[in-house]
Amino acid sequence: MSELTGARPWRPATVAIHGFGRRRKAHNAVSTPIVQTSNFSFGSMAEVVEFMQAKSQGRIIREQEYGRYGNPTQAETERKLAAIEGAERAMLFSTGMSAVIMTLMAYMKPAGHIIFTSDCYRQTRDFATHFLGKFGIQTSLVEPTTGAVEAAIQPNTNLIFTESPTNPYLRVLDLPAIVKVAKRHGLLTLIDATLATPYNIRPLELGVDLVIHSATKYLGGHNDLLAGVTLGRHDLLEELNRLQRMIGSIPGPLSCFLLERGLKTFALRMEQHNRAGLLLAQVLERHPKIERVWYPGLASHPDYAVARQQMRGFGSVISFLVKGDGTQTQKFIDALELFLITPSLGGSESLVTQMATMSFFDYPVEYRQSIGMVDNLVRVALGLEDPEDLIADLQQALERL
């Protein structure tokens, strides 16, 4: 195998195609083959014994044993994801939330306490508030600031879980400051960096222990697969590996193939996402029918200075308040022609959601408002359409209000 990384530090677009280096793939294929099998056979019992002895000694003499433990298509995709993130190891899961929940389960402690930042993905919030207590785990949801996180630390705290940028207000945490607090108290740091992607921020380089992505979003990039990934040091991920081998929440080989194929255009797509996101955020901020815009690349964002320091670009998710009530907001969304109404992000098609209705409809109105899910809050996730067309579409829909 020829290792590209031995020559020079390769740039993101090159790493997205080649990973850590050139690898000869099965059957000399250029694209990673889809290995569609649930079992991997041994040639003899002597081979089985040799394999089991090597495994008991911590040596790897073959990667595949049984489909629940992994697949060649999965392994190749994990290698590329690790290269893109700058991690020693990547572990793929069937969905982003599977990666979140299993990672938390692997590292939480009996009668422990986990700190979450409050502006976060709804399902993460629900798992923290509704399910962790059943395992005897205490949780705190705090503002996404270093001071709030440190103030919430208790004697039984062992994990800090956050997002950066957060969802939907796109708060950007001072990760080196969070890491400094965590190390002072002996805590593990986990970050869901789905909205930033490895192209815009590299949390491991800033001292974070584990990084999680919903690979369904920007990493896959085409709204056609479900997957999640956790990345970090090889030794640290071994406990998570033990849990995953028991539960088996892995993506199928076709999903891995689609993800690995999507990664080849990852850097190119992110350049377009970053350009379009900043341009449209600036247009929306100037529009008279928009009350407020949240986008880390705008000087009006509360974390603009931190974002400028930590991020290469600011992504394509923009949250904003329409001037008007919930009915007016829904009228605006219905008037859009290019934006599809759905709660996801990161693909080639532009998407839009009214957060209070799409993601928090089953919450009481008072609670929704207390966490900022007001009826006129809209989140758009720009795709890869021409930015000028997206601007024209937003403007024509706003003019109807």
Mean pLDDT of all residues in the chain?
A: 92
Tell whether the model's pLDDT for residue 389 goes beyond 60. yes
Q: How confident is the model at residue 356 (pLDDT cuts 50, 70, 90)?
A: confident
Run of H or E residues at 93: strand 89-93
Run of H or E residues at 114: strand 113-117
- Judge residue 327's burial from the number of C-beta atoms within 10 Å of its C-beta, 0-12 exposed, 13-18 middle, 19 or more buried: exposed
Instruction: Please count the CA atoms within 13 angstroms of the CA of 233 that sit on its side-chain side.
Output: 10
pLDDT (tens digit per residue) in 272-325: 999 999 999 999 999 999 999 999 999 999 999 999 999 999 999 999 999 999
* More reliable by pLDDT, 210 or 31: 210
- CA gap 210, 258 in Å, rounded: 24
Structure tokens at 138: 């205490």
- CA gap 311, 205 in Å, rounded: 12
pLDDT (tens digit per residue) in 197-215: 999 999 999 999 999 999 9
Q: How confident is the model at residue 67 (pLDDT cuts 50, 70, 90)?
A: confident
pLDDT (tens digit per residue) in 127-160: 999 999 999 999 999 999 999 999 999 999 999 9
- CA gap 190, 143 in Å, rounded: 16
Mean per-residue pLDDT, 348-359: 90
Domains, the chain, with CATH or none: 4-35+71-262 (3.40.640.10), 266-399 (3.90.1150.10)
Mean per-residue pLDDT, 237-261: 95
pLDDT at position 1 is 27
